[in-house]
Amino acid sequence: MNSPRWLDEEQQRAWRAYLRMQGRLTARLNRQLQTGSALSLADYEVLVQLTDVEEGRLRPFELQRGLHWEQSRLSHQLTRMRHRGLVRREECAEDGRGAFVVITEEGRQAITAAAPGHAETVLRLFFDGLTREQVTALEQLSTQILDRLDTTEETTK
Amino acid sequence: MNSPRWLDEEQQRAWRAYLRMQGRLTARLNRQLQTGSALSLADYEVLVQLTDVEEGRLRPFELQRGLHWEQSRLSHQLTRMRHRGLVRREECAEDGRGAFVVITEEGRQAITAAAPGHAETVLRLFFDGLTREQVTALEQLSTQILDRLDTTEETTK
DNA sequence: GCCATGTAGATGATGTGTCATCTACTGCAC
DNA sequence: GTGCAGTAGATGACACATCATCTACATGGC
């Protein structure tokens, strides 16, 4: 990093617009979920993973890989969800270190109740405002950046 | 919301890619700032606002408008930054309710030190991976969604 | 068997964001 | 001037994220 580079005019504009959009959209989605169904976005994502598998149960490390979360974040999140009765723990016979996380009936009801409102909000706030081409472009762009993040692992700074 | 709508295949893919990209990019930027200069993204944004004005001081409500943050978030953030010596409070003569937030010398040094590394990271992780057209498309998209968020104020569910 | 190393997961401290609520001052109607 | 709505900002409680660290079990080399 010899000669420090800087964002040019257009990059600045794009970056600020993106950051603001991102922050406000997330806030709105979170709020809608919270007030509509007492779930957070984090709860929602965990429950989605669990309902995606037939038995409704996963090892925490599988959840982690699916969500791309930090291990400790997941652990704390699961503790909270357990206390609120959304998931339950089960011992794991094959591996004495681990456990299973199982969605409870209450958790199932919660996400079933929350899903339509959440989907509608995502559509209304986001997709209804974009053309098909824009959606395609966004997916393409996101995928590119994700690859980039994977390949640029720990060179930071 | 009679017949519940749902995201179609392509929307699902785009949405998941976007969410993941967004989360991981933010995490990386935060970490780079934190380890590189002991500033959070939030600190950084506040300091940017303050250095954008010549006197380096603003009323909290001006900061709030500039950042589009919740009032209480800003208030807590300023308290923390004050304790770490990045900003300082000044009484406001014209309005007895309010105050000024002033960037300290320490705050100025912190952001001056942090800026090049942060800009470089944003360029490397994000803009270097995109074409000009993609950047333009992103800005356009973000602006559209922002407008949408503004006009869809409180109809939520 | 014994030990080293790796993996699964929990935990406490700390920083951050949101909500609800509170105080204090302003500004206007009367 | 009194009363009252509005605005500026702080605060406590709580959910959330990250970091560092810890425990316990697994696995492979010897």
pLDDT in tens, chain B (157 residues): 556 789 999 999 999 999 999 999 999 999 999 988 889 999 999 999 999 999 999 999 999 999 999 999 999 999 999 999 999 999 888 888 889 999 999 999 999 999 999 999 999 999 999 999 999 999 999 999 999 988 876 433 3
CB < 7 A from strand C, the residues are A 27, 30-31, 34, 59-61, 64, 71-72, 75-76, 78-79, 89, 92, 95, 97-99; B 40, 42-43, 69-70, 72-73, 76-77, 80, 95-97
Tokens 């995109």 belong to which residue? B130
Burial of A27-47, coded b for 16+ CB within 10 Å and e otherwise, reads ebbeebbeebbebebbbbbbb
pTM for the model stands at: 0.88
CA distance A55 to A63: 14
CB-CB: which of B10, B135, B143 is closest to A135? B10
Query: Quick one: angle between helices B71-83 and B41-52, nearest 10?
Result: 90
Strands A99-103 and A57-58: antiparallel
Cβ–Cβ contact A13 with B under 8 A = yes
